Amino acid sequence: MVHNLNEFINLFNSQVRFLNKKHRWVFVLLPLAFLLLGEYQLKPQDFNDPGSFKTNKHGHDQFNLKEFISQNQSDLDSDVEKTSDGYYVGALKIPEDINFAGEHVPIEQNDVKERLDRELLVNTYWQSNMILLIKRGYKYFPFIEKILLQYGVPEDFKYLALIESGFLNATSPAGARGFWQIMKNTAREYGLEVNSNVDERLNLELATHVACKYFLKAKEKFDNWTLVAASYNRGMSGLERALRSQKVDNYYDLWLNEETSRYVFRILAVKDIFQKYGDQYGFEIAKEDHYSLPPLRKIAIDSAIGDLVDFSTKMGMTYKELKIYNPWLIQRHLINNSRKNYHILVRDTTHIPVENF
């Protein structure tokens, strides 16, 4: 019985005498078929089965791959669902009851069910990305949850940050930046400093405060958390115009552009996978695999810093560590002509608890 490609090749090589030179190209195709079909349980006698070979007009035996598969289709079908290590690939069970921020998702509507199914499939079977999202979630969710709670914003909004950036300080083609993907004008409107020396959109604490202020402002306008989430992608004015022009009052009845129509469903999918990844979605992630932040403490700085490398050394850390925990410090020095009070995160060697960390 054949269990791997090497055994298959050795077996086939021993049986290649059945093939004439003209048709030995099938030797290249069969290993490829083996890879595509999985660890098919071939036996030596399969190659000697007269039904798998046909005699051509020259009297030479030819291996007939199509005939071989046809004769063994029932065995092949039984192996399609699972490989030998038990890994399963198939349709996902759609949650019968799911909500966003306590608001019902009308999963009974066909298009709603299909849109959610799409995002669940995309995120579940892009395994490497989803595992990273889960690991990073454990690293940053506790910090974000505390600030959401301060503002009375539902905890589900932490997943919005996760789908926006993957918890990477990325910059979008439109210029949005940071975990919350905040545009420069929006950042300045809400009091963040953005220039060549400092970009506070990359300060997770300050950016989360800005996001929460936006959510509360949008809640006053829409009185619906799902619409608040959608407006973070479409903009309050754009979403308001869409609701008015289409004469509907909820996200799920709107005809929207591709990105906004998928936006809330991406949040719902990531939320459901994160909450059930081991029980329902087949991800094996042990507690020791979770990412985490080291003990950090916040120090106040109200003056310029001429060299952040020297500053890092004085704080008992490397410049790399300083940049990891304070990505908002853009250059290797800090300009502070206004004597602004900045808070910089450094390694905590005193074991004094740090606010919000």
Residues 51 and 138 in one domain: no
Work out the pLDDT band at 76, boundaries 50, 70, 90: very low
Residues 154 and 208 in one domain: yes
What residue has token string 């020791």?
Answer: 288
**88 assigned to some structural domain:** no
Distance in angstroms (rounded) separating the CA atoms of residues 285 and 256: 36
What residue has token string 């022009």?
Answer: 245
Q: Helices 225-234 & 236-246, crossing angle to 10 degrees?
A: 110
Q: What is the pLDDT of residues 218-261, one digit of tens each?
A: 999 999 999 999 999 999 999 999 999 999 999 999 999 999 99
Which tokens go with 139? 């690293």
Contacts of 264 (CB under 8 A, 6+ apart): 100, 226, 229, 230, 251
Residues 324 and 305 in one domain: yes
Residues 339 and 263 in one domain: no
Residues 61 and 176 in one domain: no
Residues 249 and 187 in one domain: yes
**149 assigned to some structural domain:** yes
**334 assigned to some structural domain:** yes
Distance in angstroms (rounded) separating the CA atoms of residues 333 and 311: 9
**94 assigned to some structural domain:** no
- Give how far the C-alpha of residue 68 lies from the chain's centroid of Cα atoms, to the nearest Å: 41
Q: Looking at 289, 311, 328, which one is the last position of a domain?
A: 289
Instruction: Count how many domains the chain has.
Output: 3
Q: List the single range of 46-50, 166-170, 200-204, 211-215 with lowest mean pLDDT.
A: 46-50
**222 assigned to some structural domain:** yes
Contacts of 245 (CB under 8 A, 6+ apart): none
Output the CA torsion 241→262→289→92 (10° steps): 140
Work out the pLDDT band at 174, boundaries 50, 70, 90: very high
- If 0-12 CB within 10 Å is exposed, 13-18 middle and 19+ buried, where does residue 43 land? exposed
Q: What is the pLDDT of residues 176-211, one digit of tens each?
A: 999 999 999 999 999 999 999 999 999 999 999 999
Q: What is the pLDDT of residues 280-339, one digit of tens each?
A: 999 999 999 999 999 999 999 999 999 999 999 999 999 999 999 999 999 999 999 999
Neighbours of 178 (CB within 10 A): 28
Work out the pLDDT band at 349, boundaries 50, 70, 90: confident
- Return the H-helix or E-strand segment holding 314: helix 308-314
Q: Measured between alpha carbons, how far is residue 312 from residues 8, 169, 347 in Å? A: 59, 21, 10
Distance in angstroms (rounded) separating the CA atoms of residues 47 and 310: 73
Q: Is the pLDDT of residue 347 over 70?
A: yes
Residues 116 and 258 in one domain: yes
What range does the domain containing 339 cover? 296-347
Mean pLDDT of 259-268: 98
Q: Looking at 289, 311, 327, which one is the last position of a domain?
A: 289
Residues 28 and 166 in one domain: no
**91 assigned to some structural domain:** no
Backbone conformation region of residue 144, classed left if phi is above 0, alpha if psi is from -120 to 50, else beta:
alpha
Q: In 3D, which of 168, 172, 179 has the Cα closest to residue 210?
A: 179
Overall residue count recorded for the chain in this entry: 357
Work out the pLDDT band at 40, boundaries 50, 70, 90: very low
Q: In 3D, which of 292, 32, 9 has the Cα closest to residue 137?
A: 292
